[in-house]
Chains A and B, each alone.
Chain A
């Protein structure tokens, strides 16, 4: 059984000018211990997918269709109170900005022990000991001394380590990490990626890694889902998607990333930009930017289908009926 299963997820935002569908029929699963990368440009819906899973969708946004199953039982329709016990205990979360995800008025010790006491049956002393152990594990030097510091006394990289310690403190099965390295410098990014990889291996924790940076995905993830305009356009093993992308959007995306060692005069570019939610066209949302668009792309929306290669893509070019007929 998959650890997490998302089936036909839809997220909508009611507005004065009608309902906006930000996530449209997204399905994927995460196996125990697996790192699934979710990549896409801003506005593709990757963060909303993450927020729906941890039940932190900001109103008026709401899950309007589909199911989210954790270890086989639905979590998308749980009342707030029940969800509180899953969030933190079974699903940990890491956000982009480590300064805003920590409370500046409480010491790190208080924030860690609070979370531990909520989710685990421990005394205050045990919780503190566990907090120190956790800080040590995420690589904070002199954890015993630093635990009574406030968040502002840590550097950006160290703060993100504290946030990771918070996310893993109840031994969750799944961590949703939304752009965990985007606010950090490159050398710190490399350290945080290495730390995340080590922790998942040691604890067999699955990670849903949301990022716009294909490089981070290449370094960390086992599988990757590429999102575009609220839908998944391609899913596959990271190596396959990077080396042999099938969907025209993924191909364009890979070609537009400058790579050290590959000398190119002109980067491949995808003209235009992703449509706004109010202007998502009929048919495949990518058709206006797609170099290979055929008639069908303007009318019908493709679902994920086998491509003849190792990954699956939502593109009519791989539909045998369309191509042959």
Chain B
């Protein structure tokens, strides 16, 4: 980890996200709304978040379901258009870049790995065609022989054999399918991979294989990862830096070490408190309180205040901004005011 850390600290930002927002209109149909006299309902899935990912590092987003982490992933790869804010990839505004004529030049530089390897591979295509699709789309090879060689090379790289190219996805286990997804993602020679829960559909022993493979590829190819997961132990294992999300906002951004050794935001502390105790220390922990509120109607001020042991009047009124605190970024009035429980 030291090498990548060094690279990350000195490297330039590959991806910059500024005040990114995505609001979904989840209102009832117009007629129903008029008849029942109801206002429009807007779901703020991502509500103004900013972060940077440096070249060669793994930046992770963690949070519970509905916090907006997958929406961020989709915004970054362009599967959703943002409602506000901007995404800069290597200095260029991504939403403008993908509309230009030479969009393919930029577009091939990032790829995505999805959660469910059963749903993300076309069951009627041979593996060879699945893996070579980006090569064909971005015209990265001139002849079919070249494509075949490249596919063989990619399959070998992810631990499969070139002969597997003739098979169909159903002939593979979940872990092998995820390897095919990774080969497909690598086929356009990307620098940046967005990995949305890449191992959460897999068994633990297979998860270890995929995590090891991803780390190995990162070292060899100098990849940059945005890693999205709800599993804190996995995030601890793979990340250089981590952003914790709650209801569409970032509440803490810190290096993996700082976050797990000295979590500052009360929500981060709550999350860490839920990690099962695999060392069997038998320490009694404070019970976790409450549930994630409905994102359509989030609490006023800091969205975490109803569950927060340190909340006061100010937290109900005013939403905290991300502020620097000893190398980390934290959005919390209690931390800022040094409130103690």
Residues of A within 8 A of B (CB): 41-42, 155, 157-158, 185-191, 194, 212-216, 218-219, 238-239, 242-243, 252-253, 255-261, 263-271, 273-274
Complex CA–CA separation, A157 to B307 (angstroms): 15
Provide the residues of chain A in CB contact with B170, threshold 8 Å: none
A261-B288 CB under 8 A given contacts A187-B271, A269-B208 = no
Complex CA–CA separation, A273 to B288 (angstroms): 36
Asked if B204 and A219 make an inter-chain contact with CB atoms under 8 angstroms apart, the answer reads no
Asked if A253 and B205 make an inter-chain contact with CB atoms under 8 angstroms apart, the answer reads yes
Measured CB to CB, the nearest residue on chain A to B293 is: A155
B137 at interface (Cβ–Cβ under 8 A)? no
Complex CA–CA separation, A253 to B204 (angstroms): 7
Select one of B204, B206, B231, B291 contacting A157, CB under 8 A: B291
Complex CA–CA separation, A252 to B203 (angstroms): 13
SS class of chain B's interface: helix, strand, loop or mixed? Answer: helix
Residues of B within 8 A of A (CB): 1, 64-65, 173-176, 203-209, 211-212, 215, 230-234, 236-237, 260, 270-280, 287-288, 291-292
Identify which of A216, A259, A267 gathers the most chain B CB atoms within 10 Å of its CB: A267
Complex CA–CA separation, A253 to B295 (angstroms): 37
Asked if B234 and A215 make an inter-chain contact with CB atoms under 8 angstroms apart, the answer reads no
Select one of A255, A263, A273 contacting B173, CB under 8 A: A273
Complex CA–CA separation, A215 to B274 (angstroms): 10
Q: Smallest distance from the beta carbon of A146 to chain B beta carbons, Å?
A: 14
Provide the residues of chain B in CB contact with A264, threshold 8 Å: 237
Known contacts A190-B274, A274-B203, then 4 further A-B pairs from the complex at CB < 8 Å, ordered by chain A residue: A187-B271, A215-B277, A218-B276, A269-B205
Select one of A41, A190, A258 contacting B237, CB under 8 A: A258
Complex CA–CA separation, A186 to B61 (angstroms): 15
A218-B277 CB under 8 A given contacts A41-B204, A190-B288, A212-B204 = yes
Q: Smallest distance from the beta carbon of A221 to chain B beta carbons, Å?
A: 11
Measured CB to CB, the nearest residue on chain A to B294 is: A155
Asked if A41 and B232 make an inter-chain contact with CB atoms under 8 angstroms apart, the answer reads no
Asked if B292 and A258 make an inter-chain contact with CB atoms under 8 angstroms apart, the answer reads no
Asked if A194 and B260 make an inter-chain contact with CB atoms under 8 angstroms apart, the answer reads no
Complex CA–CA separation, A191 to B288 (angstroms): 6
Q: Smallest distance from the beta carbon of A83 to chain B beta carbons, Å?
A: 32
Provide the residues of chain A in CB contact with B275, threshold 8 Å: 186, 215, 260
Provide the residues of chain B in CB contact with A267, threshold 8 Å: 208, 211-212, 237
